[in-house]
Structure 1
């Protein structure tokens, strides 16, 4: 869209910018341009500064104040002095460039071509993002339906197993008894997998904003929820600090890391130390378990990847740490594993943001 109160200027500028694949709309006033913007989709506006009734600054201010047109890139075109105050005012209003008459024809063409390419790319990204949002919503809905449909027959299987166990408790011995226990264990694993898949999809799609979150309160709530056995000690070091984080995400991260430190610990007493480093703004969860070989430090964060550890009789679905990584990155933080020789391992979350008081 070209906006200028002088028809001869519009004709000249249109002749410079005309292309077979480009539609150019010309307007001789800001009011006329605003009327057209209500009906037409515009990719770029070039507007003269000095116009009667409504000058270019007033026109752009109105355009930028309306949600439907606020993101349209705008270039001011003017014959007035290239005083810094005029340029500053243009950028303050949201303009992307300022061209002075007489125009350099080649430079004007290149700038317009560049800004239109940026606009087209931006629109493609928005379209892809909208499609991705729809797909993610479909995925979450599918996961919910899948979980419901799978859980119903699974509940029936568990009920039948309980009936069989009650009626044949005295008769199941030897190999049949082992096979029966294997079936029971498989139903537990399948139920956990369904729950984890559903939880994963719901958490990944949750886009609530970051808030001021107290680390100590989060850790203590998680510990109450887990209710660890007497052979587990959890030391909390310097945790009474606030960070900017999604509350549910931090809760899920801490829950997974502490649960894993307990679940896969191979010592008589599981020692877990949770520390917040005020200087580096990082959160550490250390344990005295078997540790994780360095070659698996990346693999454990991949979906459905496990190391096969079953030290406490529990297997993993390979979803928990993948969820931890996704939630950490969604909050612009990073997570890595540090090996502690002969002393287990450390999960370290870095790049956290301290909350201002």
Structure 2
């Protein structure tokens, strides 16, 4: 049974005897070794074969080793193939510098030391393997990102379709029953349309964010009070929910969409899991500590679960209103904060409910 060839080596030397000697040193069951007598012949082979390592003689007629390497480094398909110069000329600094400037990775000096030759070739083949593995992983990552982007587009479409239907239905009802509607009902219909449009815009923003924002890019100066008010307009808390804003008229550097999403998730959780007749929530900014606190008068979170709640798909079970979370919200909150060089944590010492802290904020 023939062994599978893992690497293909290209040896270039104008003297056949040198090629025979070098090939005998490097032969291995998992290697294919191709020999040729000129740089031009070597270039032809590179067009047809996938080469892992090139060993080229420096002194050759017509095209020497330097010229050969200069040509290979200019072509994207061959530029990254590791190349070793094999030479009998002096190892003076000017020759070595010229080779490195051209893109060679090392030298083998004649007469060849068998052990050094084998070890160097083995080392550079390992580097080639690592490089190929990184390329494969990168290709997988690009493919996965493409799938995620497609998934995000599908989700955005599926979310916006019912929103557009709601808007159309409300407009239809208004047109058909305009004279029958009382002033209060007209105002409610306007609120429904406004909320649907705001939600549609948020979906567009989140889709843009997921496709275009990585790490901490896209930070801008935002006013905390304006961003919080935009979120409150979106979630439209009911009469049994009291939200207090303290010292929020300050400017920080943060991704606007990410900040709104963080605040919306924290407020939604505070409302959903509250067990009191009147839900009380306070949003405050401490400019000295550069942190935002979102506190509520709900049942609180057991200290043993203070860190677990940020894990993906971890939930506290059903809320007092019978809702159950997906376990994604707080994990997303932490990820969005980290993308902005900030931190999200829970103050486990807060005993009158829950207190979430968004800290390490950058003032503008």
**TM-score over 0.5 for the alignment?**
yes
Deviations 1:232-290 (A, max 9, x none): 23536673x6xxxxx8xx3343223333444445784513327698xxxxx74433446
Could you tell me whether the CA contact under 8 Å between 2:55 and 2:85 is conserved in 1? yes
Tell me whether 1:273 sits opposite 2:285 in the alignment. yes
CA distance in 1 between counterparts of 2:64 and 2:149 reads 50
Provide the residue aligned with 2:222 in structure 1. 217
Which residue, out of 266, 272, 293, partners 1:286? 293
Shift of 1:219: 5.4
Q: What is the rounded CA distance, in whole Å, between the counterparts of 1:313 and 1:276 in structure 2?
A: 39
Counterpart residue number, 2:245: 232
- Structure 2 residue 147 is the aligned partner of structure 1 residue 138: yes
Q: Distance in 2 between matches of 1:340 and 1:28?
A: 75
Scaled by the length of structure 2, the TM-score of the pair is 0.63
1:169 alignment partner in structure 2 = none
What is the aligned partner in structure 1 of residue 345 from structure 2?
Answer: 337
Alignment equivalent of 1:24, drawn from 12, 21, 33: 33
User: Closer, same or farther in 2 for the Cα pair 1:130/1:336, shift >3 Å?
Assistant: same
Kept after mapping to 2: 8 A contact 1:75/1:95: yes
Structure 1: gaps (5+ residues): 164-191, 242-246, 278-282
C-alpha deviation, 1:17, in angstroms: 1.0
Q: Which moved more, 1:217-226 or 1:40-49?
A: 217-226
- The answer on whether the counterparts of 2:223 and 2:251 sit within 8 Å (CA) in structure 1 is no
> Residues 223 and 249 of structure 2 are in contact (CA less than 8 Å); yes or no, is this contact kept in structure 1?
no
* SS of alignment partner, residue 115 of structure 2: helix
Q: Is the alpha carbon distance of 1:303 and 1:32 closer, same or farther for their aligned partners in structure 2, counting shifts above 3 Å? A: same
Q: Aligned partners of 1:238 and 1:149: how far apart in 2? A: 35
d(CA) in 2 for partners of 1:212, 1:203:
9
Give the Cα separation in 1 of the matches to 2:223 and 2:54: 50
Whether 2:338 is the aligned partner of 1:346: answer no
User: Structure 1 residues 62 and 274, CA, compared in 2 at 3 Å: closer, same or farther?
Assistant: farther
Q: 1:258 aligns with which of 263, 275, 296?
A: 263
1:1-357 map, 5 Å: 1-142=10-151, 144-145=153-154, 148=157, 206=212, 211=217, 213-214=219-220, 216-217=221-222, 222-223=227-228, 225-227=230-232, 231-233=244-246, 235=248, 239=252, 250-265=255-270, 268=280, 270-273=282-285, 284-289=291-296, 295-307=304-316, 316-326=325-335, 335=343, 337=345, 339=347, 341-342=349-350, 344-348=355-359
Name the count of aligned residue pairs.
307
Q: Is the 8 A contact 1:303 1:318 kept in 2?
A: yes
CA-to-partner distance for each residue in 1:99-155, whole Å, 9 max, x for gaps? 222222122222222322332343244234424433443354356446656886899
Q: What whole-Å deviation, never above 9, does each CA across 1:34-79 have from its counterpart, x for those lacking one?
A: 2322222111112223334433333323322222222212222222
Distance in 1 separating the partners of 2:33 and 2:54: 10
Residues 26 and 213 (structure 1), Cα distance of their counterparts in 2 relative to 1, 3 Å cut:
same
- State the distance in 2 between where 1:219 and 1:58 align: 62
Alpha-carbon distance between aligned partners in 2 of 1:61 and 1:233, rounded to the nearest angstrom: 66
CA RMSD of aligned residues (A): 4.8
Decide whether aligned partners of structure 1 residues 5 and 207 sit closer, same or farther in structure 2, where only a CA change above 3 A counts: farther
Change (3 A) 1:122 1:270: same
- Partner of 2:345, secondary structure, is strand
Q: Which residue number in structure 1 is paired with residue 183 of structure 2?
A: none
- Offset of 1:22 from its aligned partner? 1.4
Q: Does the 8 Å contact 1:232/1:270 carry over to 2?
A: yes
